[in-house]
Every structure is written in structure tokens, then in C-alpha cells.
Amino acid sequence: MRKRPLRFESRGMTDTIQAYREGTTQVSTRMEGNPDPPILSSRPLGWNGLIAERFRHAPAEHHFPPLTENTTSLYLGQPVSSVRWSDDGIYEGPTSEGDVTVKASGQPVGWRFDKDVDLLVMRLAPAFLGHVAEENGLNADAIELRPSLDQQDDAVKHIGLAMLAEMESGGTGGRVYGDSLATALATHLLRNHGASPQAAPDRKGGLPRSALRRVTDFVNENLSMDLGLSEMAGVANLSQYHFSRQFKRSTGLSPHQYVIQRRVRRARELLSKTDLPVGDVASAVGFTHQSHLAHHVRRHFGVAPSSLRG
């Protein structure tokens, strides 16, 4: 950790930290909770166990009550100088694009930046993290995330940017994609940011043929539904983590890639053999918006949906 214990030169900040240490609320610059609403949120997409939100804040000082969720943030903005405090201590130093901060549930936090900040906050429900832990053979009652501040973590950065792109697109990958990203983040945090990091046990090989057939039949019979990773894994009687890995070994595609492929091919069939409006075709194969259908048809076939008409 490149942060160092804070040495105060500002009387106002000294008073702020002293108030924090004493549990008082007498500092005039104090603001409680998130000062601004998120500019982007995964809430409308219904991802399982996780909410991802993008915030932009003006320079200010903010105090938050104890966190109810395990929180991971990815900094997206310009380099800033920051002062932050929590039960782990008080730190000052630079924050740069790509820095990752992990905070465990139950911790009050506060921060102050000298410039506008832009960050993606990913909040994992404790029950969801515990469920992922159990699926990976870990003791859910004993898991605890190890707080870290402004570290480089390429895996978290990759997952966070994928979540951001999915939110910006309005959820073109479907709920199964968001669920996969949430499970990947939870698994990575347990393996690499746990108080006692543990490698999740792996199961070699792909799905048994019977399980693969059950899953593919389930997908094909329910393309119009809002399919999630948990439902697909449940059909195979596996955890989401192990199901994702074994399904890809069997098919060469991740679960969300397979669902998209089946939806696009079914859409091509409906467009070529029926007179259904494009919007109705999109709904029939599980795309929430006609634009999502158009996006994936172009990616797979290089043409607009109207060009697939028979």
C-alpha cells in the first residue's frame, strides 16, 4: 500500500479527523452519505447479488455510516490527492485511474478529494458473497475480505470495465452476463482479497452429456425469458462458478455467449419465415429492446435484422 499515515497541516482537516476519532459531528464541512445520485446504475438490469453504480463527485468531504455491503471501487478519473479514513486508519496520497479499493461490510468510511472524482462502485451483498463462498467449498461463516486501498488489480479492473460497458449498453448481454460478472468478481475477491486467501477448488473436464443436454434444452425452451446464470447452473445441479467453467469447456462458449447465439439464430429463423415485426421478434427471443436485437444481429451476421427477411 503506497498510502502513508497522515500528517496534518490544515486546521480544518485536523478538526475533521479529530471529530471522526471522537465520534462527534461538529465539523461544518461534513456531508453524510453519497452526495450525488449515480449517473449510471445496474439496478434496472436485475443482476443477482450485486449493484454496480458510477458516481461523479465534486471536491468535498464526505462521511458514510458503516457499510452494509462488501464494496469494491474502481477509480476512473483524473489523478487526485486524497485523504481517507476508516477503522483501518487514516491515509493520504495520490489516487490514479485504475486504482482499486476494497472495503468490507460493517466499516464506516470517509474521504476527501482535491478535484472532481469519477468512480465505479460495486457492492456485493454479504449473503451473495457467502453463497459464492459455499459454492466454492469455503466456510461462508468464516469469510472476511481484507481491506485494501488504491491497489492495481487487473482482474477487478477488467470485470469493472465490462460491467460499465454492459450498463452503458442498456444490458445487451442479458441478465446471464451480469450474473456471470458478479460471480466472477465475488470469486476473485474471495481468492485474492480474503483475510486468508484460498484457491477455489477446480473441477476438470466439461459437463456430463446428460447435464449439457438439460441445460441447452432449458435455454432453447425459454429464450423469451430473462435467463440468469443461477437458473442455468441449477438445471445442471452445479454452482454458478463451476457451471460456467464446465459449460465453456463443453461448448467453447461462456453461458451468456451461448444464450446470445441461440437468441440470434432463433431471431434469424423468425425473421426469414414469419411476418412478425422486428420488435415482436426481439421480445420473442428474449431481447429487452429492438436495438439489442439489431446490435447482436449485426455482430453475428453483419447485416441489419430487416436484411434477414425471406
Structural domain spans, the chain: 4-169+180-192, 209-308
CATH superfamily of 209-308: Homeodomain-like (1.10.10.60)
- Alpha-helix residue ranges (DSSP H) falling in the chain: 11-22, 126-135, 154-168, 175-192, 209-221, 229-236, 240-251, 255-273, 278-284, 290-301
Beta-carbon contacts of residue 146 (< 8 Å; ≥ 6 apart)? 102, 104, 193, 194, 195
**pLDDT band (50, 70, 90) for residue 160:** very high
Closest CA to 250 of 240, 238, 258, 239: 258
Of residues 121 and 146, more confidence is placed in 121
For cell 464446465, name the residue. Answer: 246
Q: Which one is predicted more confidently, 231 or 104?
A: 231
Average pLDDT, stretch 178-183?
Answer: 94
3-state SS class at 34: coil
Please write the tens of the pLDDT for every residue from 97-129: 999 999 888 777 788 888 899 999 999 998 898
Model-wide pTM > 0.95: no
Nearest alpha carbon to residue 94 among 108, 76, 114: 114
Q: What is the pLDDT of residue 196?
A: 57
- According to DSSP, residue 88 is labeled T
Which secondary-structure segment (H or E) carries 172? none
The H or E element spanning position 120 is strand 117-124
Does the structure show a pLDDT above 60 at 136? Answer: yes
Q: pLDDT at residue 10 above 80?
A: no
Average pLDDT for the chain: 82
The confidence score (pLDDT) of residue 204 equals: 60
Architecture of domain 4-169+180-192: Sandwich (2.60)
If you average pLDDT over residues 25-39, what whole number do you get?
55
User: Is the pLDDT reported for residue 206 higher than 80?
Assistant: yes
Same topology between domain 4-169+180-192 and domain 209-308: no
Percent of the chain with pLDDT over 90: 45
Q: Strand, coil or helix: what is 55? A: strand
